[in-house]
């Protein structure tokens, strides 16, 4: 996947201040205080520079937890979407938390294959990835450091806590605050050069780190809450602050190993595989077969691959270091382009 290069920060700020339509489609403007992302020439009031984030693609802003502006409608192409697609787009706007099936789409008189091709062409993602991103944005909002559930709810457009809780429950199948006896896992967004990641941690350990556009993210969130019997709360804590700092150093080529404590509940076999993954040195790779032999289960190659895919803590438990028997890259939930880039980062000289 090609990484788009944005104009300079100063140039983009100037374009937003001037509402310059020439930059429409070049980048998108996300506003931290409202949780909304817009076109550079949006007619809405100009945000303060310190409250702006820039994204090369609408999908990047969407998966970062921002919701599309209702005035400039950045998720629609600059020319109006085709008439046949309008009923589906309107239905999504009315209920962005809805989980769509092909049958639901056909009920609106639209062919799912046609919808898929249109979204791939205009947004470089499938319709289901698009709707999943809308649900993430609705449920997690634009999570700010230190926000309470109440602040997150009201700051990101919810009229009541009940509405926020309902949206969160639709996403992960568990309310953001339940019995006080449950373990609390704080969920936040961490920006990286390879796209935003969703991170989760208790007061003592990291238990989730996934790219926000991963297809299995919602499934991983549900599995985590079931395994840990935990409640999820938007916000941050010291563990997540440490993780964000270490990830920044990692992507800058200044770090190879991580000190953040991990909590990865799973079956005994999964635990064995994940422990073996951590033992693969940074910058090196190992085949699924070699990994199976190393843990004493030479015939369990497929099971090792499944355990690899079930890993909920990307990068820190480095499933990206496992390759096919021929050395080629295979099977990475975040996309093979990310797997390639992570290996390139680790194989480059360490910066001091």
Which residues are known catalytic residues? 38, 319
Residue holding tokens 């568990």? 174
Taking each continuous run of H as one helix and of E as one strand, the counts in the chain are: 14, 10
Alpha-carbon span 16 to 142, nearest angstrom? 20
Alpha-carbon span 209 to 342, nearest angstrom? 15
Query: 176: which DSSP letter?
Result: S
Nearest to 312 by CA among 198, 160, 165: 198
Tokens representing residue 70 in the block: 């209702």
Alpha-carbon span 207 to 129, nearest angstrom? 24
322: how many CB neighbours lie within 10 A of its CB? 25
Helix (H) or strand (E) holding 345: helix 336-347
Distances 38 to 70, 92, 144, 180, 198 between C-alpha atoms, Å: 9, 18, 19, 39, 22
Nearest to 96 by CA among 60, 59, 67: 67
Strand partners, 206: 201, 262
Task: Please state the separation of Cα 92 from the chain's center in Å.
Answer: 20
Alpha-carbon span 277 to 291, nearest angstrom? 8
- Residue 89 makes CB contacts below 8 A (sequence gap 6+) with 76, 81
Helix ranges, 188-237 (H): 217-228
Query: 65: which DSSP letter?
Result: T
| Cα–Cα–Cα angle for 198, 220, 254, rounded to 5 degrees | 40
């Amino acid at each position: 996947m090609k990484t788009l290069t944005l104009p300079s920060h100063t140039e983009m700020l100037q374009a937003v201040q001037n509402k310059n339509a020439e930059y429409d489609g070049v980048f998108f403007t996300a506003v931290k205080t409202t949780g909304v992302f817009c076109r550079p020439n949006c007619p809405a009031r100009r945000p303060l520079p310190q409250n702006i984030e820039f994204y090369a693609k609408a999908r990047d802003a969407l998966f970062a937890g921002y919701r599309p502006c209702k005035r400039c409608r950045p998720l629609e192409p600059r020319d109006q979407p085709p008439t046949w697609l309008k009923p589906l787009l309107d239905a999504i706007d009315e209920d962005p938390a809805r989980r769509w099936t092909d049958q639901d789409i056909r009920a609106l008189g639209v062919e799912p294959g046609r919808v898929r091709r249109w979204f791939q062409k205009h947004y470089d993602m499938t319709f289901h990835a698009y709707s999943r991103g809308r649900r993430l944005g609705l449920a997690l909002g634009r999570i700010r450091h230190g926000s309470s559930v109440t602040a997150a709810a009201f700051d990101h457009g919810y009229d009541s806590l009940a509405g926020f809780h309902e949206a969160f429950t639709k996403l992960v199948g568990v309310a953001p605050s339940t019995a006080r006896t449950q373990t609390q896992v704080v969920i936040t967004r961490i920006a990286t050069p390879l796209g935003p990641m969703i991170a989760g941690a208790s007061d003592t350990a990291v238990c989730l780190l996934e790219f926000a556009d991963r297809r299995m993210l919602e499934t991983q969130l549900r599995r985590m809450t079931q395994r840990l019997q935990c409640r999820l709360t938007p916000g941050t804590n010291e563990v997540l602050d440490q993780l964000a700092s270490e990830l920044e150093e990692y992507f800058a080529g200044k770090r190879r190993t991580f000190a953040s404590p991990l909590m990865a509940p799973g079956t005994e076999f999964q635990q064995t595989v994940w422990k073996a993954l951590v033992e693969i040195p940074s910058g090196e790779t190992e085949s699924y077969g070699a990994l199976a032999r190393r843990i004493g289960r030479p015939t369990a190659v497929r099971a090792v691959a499944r355990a690899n895919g079930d890993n909920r803590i990307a990068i820190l438990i480095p499933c990206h270091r496992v390759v096919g028997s021929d050395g080629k890259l295979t099977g990475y939930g975040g996309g093979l382009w990310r797997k390639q880039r992570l290996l390139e980062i680790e194989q480059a000289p360490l910066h001091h």
